[in-house]
C-alpha cells in the first residue's frame, strides 16, 4: 500500500503536523526518514518508543509539559491522540508512520484506543525531566488560563 499524503488539520495551539520523508520500496519495505532541521524542527536529545499496547483499556499520557517539544508517531497499527490546549480539544487517529504530531508545551495529551500491534515512537528535544511534567489537570487549566 502506498503511504497516504493526507494531513490532518490541527486546531489546537502548540501543535502541528510533521511529515517524514518516505521512500516506498515495496515489496521490500518502506523507509521513513526524520532529519533534524528537515523534517524535525528541533535537535533531538531523546528517542523513546512504546509497544505491547494490546490491553484494549490502556490509556497513556494524561499530562502536559511545561517546556518540552516532542513529535509523536504511530509507526505500527493505530491509536487515538486526544489534545487539549485548555481552550480547544481535538481527537486524532494516528495510523500513518510518516505523519507525526507536534506535542509542544502546555498541551494536555492522552493516548488511547491502541490497536494490538500499535507501536508509538516519540522524538524529544530534551532528556527526561519529571519537573517538566504537569500531571494535574486543574494545575494545567490554571496555567493555560493565566
Alpha carbon distance 120, 75 (integer Å): 6
Task: Please give the backbone phi and psi of residue 128, each rounded to the nearest 5 degrees, phi first.
Answer: -60, 130
Residue 110-129 contact track with ligand T46, rule CB under 6 A, x = bound: ------------x-----x-
Residue 103 vs residues 12, 41, 67, 87, 127: alpha-carbon distances, Å:
10, 12, 10, 16, 15
Are 77 and 119 in contact by the 8 Å Cβ rule? The answer is yes
Are 96 and 4 in contact by the 8 Å Cβ rule? The answer is yes
Which strand (E) or helix (H) includes residue 143? helix 137-145
* Nearest residue (CB) to ligand T46, 60 versus 141: 60
Q: Which of 83, 103, 107, 144 binds ligand T46 (CB under 6 A)?
A: 103
Return the range that interacts with ligand T46 (CB under 6 A); candidates 35-43, 45-53, 82-90, 136-144.
Answer: 45-53
17 scored as a contact of ligand T46 (CB under 6 A): no
Return the range that interacts with ligand T46 (CB under 6 A); candidates 3-11, 24-32, 43-51, 136-144.
Answer: 43-51
Q: Which of 69, 70, 119, 121 binds ligand T46 (CB under 6 A)?
A: 70
Q: How many residues bind ligand T46 (CB under 6 A)?
A: 10
76 burial type by CB count under 10 A (0-12 exposed, 13-18 middle, 19+ buried): middle
Tell me which residues are annotated as active site. Answer: 63
44 scored as a contact of ligand T46 (CB under 6 A): no
Residue ranges in contact with ligand T46 by CB under 6 A:
46, 48, 50, 60-61, 70, 72, 103, 122, 128
Amino acid at each position: 500500500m502506498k503511504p497516504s499524503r493526507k494531513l490532518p488539520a490541527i486546531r489546537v495551539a502548540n501543535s502541528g503536523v510533521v511529515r517524514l520523508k518516505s521512500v516506498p520500496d515495496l515489496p521490500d519495505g518502506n523507509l521513513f526518514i526524520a532529519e533534524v532541521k528537515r523534517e524535525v524542527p528541533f535537535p533531538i536529545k531523546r528517542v523513546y518508543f512504546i509497544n505491547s499496547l494490546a490491553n484494549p483499556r490502556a490509556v497513556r499520557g494524561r499530562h502536559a509539559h511545561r517546556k518540552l517539544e516532542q513529535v509523536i508517531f504511530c509507526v505500527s497499527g493505530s491509536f487515538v491522540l486526544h489534545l487539549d490546549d485548555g481552550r480547544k480539544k481535538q481527537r486524532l487517529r494516528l495510523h500513518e508512520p510518516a505523519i507525526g504530531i507536534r506535542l509542544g508545551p502546555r498541551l494536555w495529551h492522552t493516548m488511547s484506543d491502541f490497536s494490538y500491534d500499535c507501536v508509538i515512537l516519540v522524538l524529544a528535544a530534551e532528556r527526561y525531566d519529571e519537573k517538566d511534567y504537569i500531571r494535574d489537570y486543574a494545575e494545567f487549566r490554571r496555567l493555560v488560563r493565566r
